Amino acid sequence: MKIIKRSSLLLLLSALLIIGGCMNSGAAPADLNEKTPDSGQKTEITDPIKKSYYIFDTIVQVKVYDSRITDRHFNEIEELLKTIDAEMSRTNDKSELAKVNDNAGIKPVQVSDQTFNVVQKAYDYTKQTEGRFNLAIGPLVTLWNIGNEGAHVPDQSKIDELIPHSQYNQVELNPDTREVYLKEKGMEMDLGGIAKGYSADVIAKYLTDNGFKSAIIDLGGNVLALGQKPGGHKWTIGIQDPDLSRGNPIGNLKVENQTIVTSGVYERFFEEDGKVYHHILDSDTGYPVDNNLNSVTILTDSSIDADALSTSIFSMGLEKGLEFAEQLDKAEALFITKDKKVYITSGMAEVLAMTNDSYTLMNE
C-alpha cells in the first residue's frame, strides 16, 4: 500500500494557483513594523503584507495590499480562526462539535451562535443536495482516515455497519435553544466541507470592517479575492491543473470580490494495490465518489456556499452537477474530467481564459 500525504506547502497549492499579482512566490515576507505608515502616508502598496497560520490541518494565508495593516490586525485574525477551530473541529476532542458527537444518541447539546449557524447551513445544503453534501458523514470519514498515516481500504463489513450511522435525517436542530442532537449512537458530524469557507468569509468581513479593501485570503485552496488588486484591476486566479506534476493552471479567472473553491481527487488521497482512493466520500456506498471527474471549481460571492457546493456538485457527477449548477443564483461552476475535458456553466465563459493546450473546453 502506498500512502500519499500532502506537505503543508502542497496543501496550499493543491487546489488553486494565484497568479497575475495575487501571489508573488519570490518575495520575502514583509516586515509589518516597517510597513506601518505614519498618519497621512499613502496606503496602497504593490507587494502584499502577509501572514500565514496553520489551522484546520492546512495552511491559512492572508495577504493584504494596504500598508496600514499591523501585527495587531493579524493577531486578531488568528484569534478568529482559533475560535472557529475550537468550536467546529471534528478532531479537537474539546470542541463544541466533538461534544455534539460524544453525546450522539444521548442528549442534545447547546452550541454557540456561530457554530449553530454553520451547522444549520451545512444541514440546509445536505437537504438541498439530497445528501451529496452530508454533514453526518463523520463515521465514514473517521473510518477511511484519508490524508493521515495509516489510511487504508476498510473491511466491507465495517463500511456496511457505518453507513446507517451516516444519514443526515437523524440530525435534529433546535434554532430556539441552539441545540444540536444526533439521534443515534455512533453518529458524527463533520463540518470539514464548509468550515474553511465560513472562515474565509469571517476574515473578509474583519478586513472590510477595519477599512482594508484589497486582499487575498487562501485557506488551503479556498481563495477569496477581496476587492480589486492595486491599480484598480481584477484579480487573476489560476485554476490548478489536476496533474500536480505540471504545476501550471489550466486557465485563468478574472474576478473581484468573489471566492473560488475547488474540490478534487488530488487534494487528499492514498493508493492501495494500484488504485487511488480520494477523500470525497459517498455516504450511500461508503466509498470515495467514483465518477469521471478530477475536480470541480465554484465561483461565487460567499465562500461558505462555494465550499459546500464544490463538494456536493463534484459528488453529483458531470451531468447532474452541471444541471444543478446552472440553476444556482450568482454562482458558476467549472468541471475537469479525467480525460482532460473542461465543462463550464454559461456565466463562467465571461471570466474564463483557457491557458493549457492539454485541456479542451467542451461547451463554451
Kindly write down the DSSP assignment for every residue of 202-245, as one continuous string. HHHHHHHHTT---EEEEETTEEEEES-BTTTB-EEEEEEPS-TT
Q: Domains (ranges, CATH) in the chain?
A: 2-81+212-361 (3.10.520.10), 88-182 (1.10.3980.10)
pLDDT of residue 351: 97
Q: Which pairing describes strands 2-4 and 269-272: parallel, antiparallel, or unpaired? A: antiparallel
pLDDT of residue 304: 98
Residue 18 has pLDDT above 50, yes or no: no
User: Residue 313 is placed in which grid cell?
Assistant: 456538485
Determine the length of the chain: 364
Residue 356 has pLDDT above 80, yes or no: yes
Q: From the annotation, which residues make up the binding site for Mg(2+)?
A: 193, 307, 311
pLDDT-based confidence at residue 123 (cuts at 50, 70, 90): very high
d(CA 91, CA 72): 29
- Nearest CA to 153 among 286, 16, 316? 286
In the chain, % of residues over pLDDT 70: 87
d(CA 77, CA 199): 10
d(CA 249, CA 255): 16
Residue 350 has pLDDT above 90, yes or no: yes
pLDDT of residue 41: 43
pLDDT-based confidence at residue 245 (cuts at 50, 70, 90): low
Taking residue 291's Cβ as centre, other Cβ atoms within 10 Å add up to 18
Of 26-35, 37-46, 287-296, give the lowest mean pLDDT range.
26-35
Cα dihedral 272, 273, 275, 277 in deg (nearest 10): -20
| 84 contacts 163 by C-beta, under 8 angstroms | no
Q: Is 65 in a helix, a strand, or coil? A: coil
Residue 179 has pLDDT above 70, yes or no: yes
d(CA 311, CA 137): 13
Q: Is 262 in a helix, a strand, or coil? A: strand
| 289 contacts 45 by C-beta, under 8 angstroms | no
Between vectors from CA 262 to CA 279 and to CA 246, what angle results, nearest 5°? 90
Q: Is 168 in a helix, a strand, or coil? A: helix
- Nearest CA to 219 among 15, 4, 33, 3? 15
**pLDDT, tens only, 247-273:** 679 999 999 999 999 998 888 889 999
d(CA 71, CA 31): 10
CB half-sphere exposure, 323, CA atoms < 13 A:
5
For cell 494565508, what's the residue? 61
Of 8-22, 65-79, 137-151, give the lowest mean pLDDT range.
8-22
pLDDT of residue 9: 35
**pLDDT, tens only, 39-80:** 334 456 779 999 999 887 889 999 999 999 999 999 999 999
